[in-house]
Amino acid sequence: MKLPIYQVDAFASEPFEGNPAAVCPLDEWLPDDLMQNIAMENNLSETAFFVEQDGNYRLRWFTPTTEVDLCGHATLASAHVLFEHLNYDQQIIRFDSNSGELKVRKEGDRLVMNFPAAELNRTESPEFLEEAVGIPAKELYRDTDYLYVIESEEQVRNLDPDIRAMAKADVRGIIVTAPGQDYDFVSRFFAPNAGVDEDPVTGSAHTMLTPYWSKRLGKKKLVGRQVSRRGGTVYCHYKENRVEIAGEACTIMKGQFKI
């Protein structure tokens, strides 16, 4: 069997920036264990699979070790493949996912995703988490991830966390964030429980970052920068129970997966 596969740098305007994702368009679903093995073989933070269903698309995402319920950058990459390579000619793509309906529209060079906003549940920091991050939290919130707020961009950039200790957290990942100097906010994202020590640019993390920074800064439209080694810029718009997350994408590889 030969499957088409694309590798796309999401939240990037040129190659070698942003977050790489693999995208596999399918005519019908493969067995779950086979999709998981393909994701493991790709060894990227996410591999997306989608199947057309009644004019929309069912979308699923796999890390090298597990299936996840929401992934922003691989959704962006999937929409990019549909628009740029598979002749999708409508303005809006509707994806059905484990997190409900996700819409992506094209606006110039950017793709705009519409996701449900995460909840901001204030909580106390477990002792192991502060030791793992290495800096005390000014504020901590919990939903699918921890949102770990610290004081400065310099602290976020210079973090050298204990990744193995972070894996003790019973959440998907830890978002560490602070006010930005040239952006509204900066962040980094660590998800060892999902097989990703540090994710370069994490669209889904911005469903939590956006409502927090919107309320703190008193503005609905924000620009965030994920300051991983690759780095990426995310354009955010808070709409109460929804978050629009926008960025660019570029294809760096196209081929066939032989199984």
Domain containing 35 — which CATH number? 3.10.310.10
What's the pLDDT score for residue 123?
Answer: 96
- pLDDT, one tens digit per residue, over 211-228 is 999 999 999 999 999 999
Domain membership of residue 133 as a residue range: 121-240
Residues 63 and 146 in one domain: no
Give the C-alpha separation, 113 to 197, whole Å: 25
pLDDT at 193 over 90: no
Rounded to the nearest integer, the mean pLDDT of the chain is: 95
Specify the range with the lowest mean pLDDT, choosing from 9-18, 78-87, 210-219: 9-18
User: Roughly how many angstroms between the first and final C-alpha of the chain, as a whole number?
Assistant: 5
What is the value of pTM for the model shown? 0.86
**Domain check: are 181 and 108 in the same one?**
no
Same domain assignment for residues 13 and 88: yes
Is residue 54 pLDDT above 90, yes or no?
Answer: no
Q: Which of these is catalytic: 46, 153, 198, 248?
A: 46
At residue 61, does pLDDT exceed 90?
A: yes
Query: Do 97 and 173 fall within a single domain?
Result: no
168-192 as b/e: b if 16+ CB within 10 A: ebebbbbbbbbbbeebbbbbbbbbb
Q: Which pLDDT value is given to residue 152?
A: 98
Do 90 and 151 belong together in one domain? no
| Count of domains for the chain | 2
On the question of pLDDT at 92 being above 90, the answer is yes
Residues 187, 221, single domain; the answer is yes
Report whether pLDDT(196) > 90: no
Q: What is the pLDDT of residue 68?
A: 92
pLDDT, tens digit (0-9, with 9 covering 90-100), for 141-156: 999 999 999 999 999 9
Q: How confident is the model at residue 6 (pLDDT cuts 50, 70, 90)?
A: very high
| Claim to verify: residue 138 and residue 78 sit in the same structural domain | no
Q: Are residues 64 and 137 in the same domain?
A: no
* Mean pLDDT, rounded, for 15-39: 96
46 as an active site residue: the answer is: yes
> What is residue 253's predicted lDDT score, i.e. its pLDDT?
96
- Phi then psi for residue 27, to 5 deg, are -80, -30
Res. 55: pLDDT tops 90:
no
56-67 mean pLDDT: 95
Q: Which residues contact 2 (CB under 8 A, 6 or more apart)?
A: 256, 257, 258
